[in-house]
Amino acid sequence: MDFDADVVVVGGGIAGLVSTLRSLEYSENVVLLEKAPTLGGTLPVTGGTFAVEKNKDPAIDVFEPVETGIEWLRDHGISVNDPDDRWLTDDAERIGRIDTLQFIDEMAALIEENGGEIHRETAFKRLKLDDEDEISGVVAHNENGKFEINAASVILATGGFSGNADLIEQYFPHSNIWNGRHPWSTGEGFIAARNIGAKTTRGLSNALGGVRPAPPAQITDDNRRDTSTVYRDQTVILNADGIRFTDESKAVSGSTGLVSQFLNNVEEDGYLVLDHDIYESHTDQMAFSPKIGTLVEGARDAGAPVVEAETLEELGNGLDELGADGYQAVETIRTFNAAVRGESDERLRPPREDNRYAIDEPPFYAIAVQPTIVYIRGGLDINHNAEVVSQQRSTTGLEYVPTDMTQISIEPIPGLYAAGIEVGRSEDHSYYHLGLSLGLATGRTAGKHAAKRAKAKQGEQPPAGTS
Ligand SMILES: Cc1cc2nc3c(=O)[nH]c(=O)nc-3n(C[C@H](O)[C@H](O)[C@H](O)COP(=O)(O)OP(=O)(O)OC[C@H]3O[C@@H](n4cnc5c(N)ncnc54)[C@H](O)[C@@H]3O)c2cc1C
């Protein structure tokens, strides 16, 4: 069942869906391969927020701007709501919000209406090259076996390698790290590109993410939302020595790189400590603003080790029983309380920029947690056309001393594009800027250039009205 296409898009998350729709503006022969039975990738578990960073000159601005992308989606009839409130953090603002399941359905319908082919339960295996070492298609696999699609352009949007145990062990040598996304991103895109000489960026050992209730908690699709720990920015986070190691108030936006800090400071479990006031309040980090206590109970119901105590001393005893240093934990909380109440001149280390509430209203709670990867910063290196950069054809990816820019050249692998999490991102961007917005920006850029290349290879001009 081998066949021909102009563009093959691999992966049906936001980046792949956007790439496919964009390619269809320039070509009628676009195929989307999705390994899972359903489309959307990470989308169903996200809050659906498109965000951009304020006051920055973001590297992704070299791609098609996120704001224009939102207008483009609306022009296609895709529902993107204005956010109720643009403020997200001091550094980032919401600029649009989608109902993620509706978005997936609308995008899939639109792709098919425009002649795109969607192949679900079809896994990409490897890339094909012609005699000139240019992309000539893909090898894929479905229930009928292996087949090939010949295509001048391939867009990799498989979501990176957070589900590949071997690569995770190589880049994150920590026994208790979890995949916080979906199980399908097992690195075929990343590996296939590397096998044909793709250049990767820095940051392959740097993940943004959060924490999940520790085993024996069982997290399933049914309780994933109710066991979320997005309220961690309100808590005090301790390691087993009873020591704080991060500014918890930044532990959701990812600007503190919580996962990397966990890997450096926590051997097994860490602990989220909160009091009754926090338990009774609501978190605005999820679309439906749940009560934090509901999420604590969600963790307890799932089987996580949770200590509940009427005094801080009792909390310390409970932490001792879990194998942590309860005495030091209580000392740390007392020091924290004195600092946030302004009773001590001692500066908190690490600092606590926001949410400076004392943990002093019983009952007290401590929930054992372990780190989860939301995404890995490093990935395939792409140029401003979203073409994957070739390691062999380019010069150094490291800063070059002495800086003689005339010696730097960046050459792509002809016909290979990447979008979304698959691509490496600059280390100083926060979680929000790099999620759906990155998928939209790089997906549009990749879709456009991949289809234009395929058409140019056939000697055709882009359709009228496109640029
Ligand atoms: C809990 C959570 C909440 C989040 N909330 C937000 C938010 O509100 N706002 C925001 O901006 N970002 C958010 N993010 C981040 C955001 O969801 C991701 O950055 C984005 O969805 C990634 O899109 P993607 O298309 O690059 O990858 P993915 O969504 O991972 O899609 C990749 C697709 O490729 C498929 N695939 C993998 N391998 C193959 C193969 N060999 N062959 C064929 N198909 C393959 C997968 O099945 C998957 O469908 C959140 C992430 C998480 C985990």
Q: Is residue 120 packed enough to be buried (19+ CB in 10 Å), middle (13-18) or exposed (0-12)?
A: middle
Instruction: Output the CA 41–ligand 1 centroid distance in Å.
Output: 5
Cα separation, 334 vs 344, whole angstroms: 11
Q: What is the SS3 assignment for 404? A: coil
What is the DSSP code string of 415-458?
Answer: EEEE-GGGB---TT--TGGGTHHHHHHHHHHHHHHHHHHHHHHT
Please name which of 183, 193, 142, 144 lies closest in space to residue 163, comparing C-alpha atoms. Answer: 183
Answer yes or no: is pLDDT of 210 > 90. Answer: no
Cβ neighbours around 465 below 10 Å, total? 6
Q: What's the rounded Cα separation, in Å, for the pair 50 and 444?
A: 15
| Phi/psi of residue 257, nearest 5 degrees | 60, 55
Share of the chain above pLDDT 90, in %: 67
Centre of ligand 1 from the C-alpha of residue 45, in Å: 9
Residue range 248-263: mean pLDDT, rounded? 75
Please name the residues in contact with 301: beta carbons below 8 A apart, sequence gap of 6 or more. 223, 226
Q: What is the pLDDT of residues 417-464, one digit of tens each?
A: 999 999 987 666 666 566 899 999 999 999 999 999 999 998 877 676
| Ranges for all domains in the chain classified under CATH 3.90.700.10 | 207-373
Which tokens sit at 277?
Answer: 């006031």
| Separation of alpha carbons 260 and 427, rounded Å | 12
Burial of 129 (0-12, 13-18, 19+ CB in 10 A): middle
For residue 96, the 8-state DSSP code is E
Does the pLDDT value for residue 380 go beyond 70? Answer: yes
- Which of the listed residues 32, 33, 184 should we mutate to test ligand 1's pocket, taking the one with most ligand atoms within 8 A of CB? 184
The mean of the pLDDT values for the chain is 90
Kindly give, in sequence order, each residue whose CB lies less than 8 Å from that of residue 169, ignoring residues fewer than 6 positions away.
none
Residue whose Cα lies nearest atom 8 of ligand 1: it is: 47
CB 269 within 8 A of CB 177: no
User: How many other C-beta atoms are found inside a 10 Å radius of the C-beta of residue 323?
Assistant: 12
Q: Tell me what pLDDT residue 193 has.
A: 98
pLDDT at 266: 84
Sole residue written with tokens 């965000």: 51
How much distance in Å is there from the Cα of 38 to the middle of ligand 1?
13
CA–CA separation, 41 vs 18, rounded Å? 13
The residues lining ligand 1, judged by C-beta closer than 6 Å to any ligand atom, are 10-16, 33-36, 41-43, 45-49, 51, 123-124, 157-159, 180-181, 184-185, 188, 374-375, 420-421, 432, 435-437, 439
Q: Report CA-CA distances (Å) from 214 to 180, 290, 292, 297.
A: 13, 21, 18, 14
Place of tokens 């943990």: 359
Tokens at residue 357, please?
A: 């509430």
Going along 316-430, which residue ranges are E strands? 364-376, 387-389, 412-418
Residue 280 reports pLDDT greater than 60:
yes
CATH of 3-205+377-457, one of 3.50.50.60, 3.40.50.300, 1.10.10.10, 1.10.2020.10: 3.50.50.60
In this prediction, residues 161-186 reach a mean pLDDT of 87
Which of 10, 22, 42, 288 to mutate to test ligand 1, by most ligand atoms within 8 A of the CB atom? 42
* Location of each CATH 3.50.50.60 domain in the chain: 3-205+377-457
CA separation for the pair 226, 299 (Å, rounded): 7
Q: Where are the beta strands (DSSP E) in 275-363?
A: 306-309
Chain segment 126-173, per-residue pLDDT in tens: 999 999 999 999 999 999 999 999 999 999 999 999 999 999 989 887
Burial class for 183, CB neighbours closer than 10 Å (0-12, 13-18, 19+): exposed
In this structure, the chain runs to a length of 467
Share of the chain above pLDDT 70, in %: 93
Nearest of 355, 363, 382 to residue 441 by alpha carbon: 382
pLDDT digits 0-9 by tens, 46-96: 888 898 877 665 555 678 888 899 999 999 999 999 887 777 766 778 889
The reported pLDDT for the residue numbered 288 is 72
- Helix (H), strand (E) at residue 106: helix 100-113
Q: Return d(Cα 360, Cα 96) in angstroms, integer.
A: 38
Separation CA 282–CA 290 (nearest Å)? 5
Let me know: does 210 contact 180? Beta carbons within 8 Å.
yes
pLDDT of residue 225: 85
Model pLDDT, residue 221 = 79
> Band of the pLDDT at 466, cuts 50, 70, 90?
low
Closest C-alpha to ligand 1, atom 31: 13
The class that CATH gives domain 207-373 is alpha beta
- 341-378 confidence digits (pLDDT tens): 998 777 899 999 999 999 999 999 999 999 888 888 89
Helix, strand, coil abundance in the chain, percent, nearest 5: 30, 20, 45
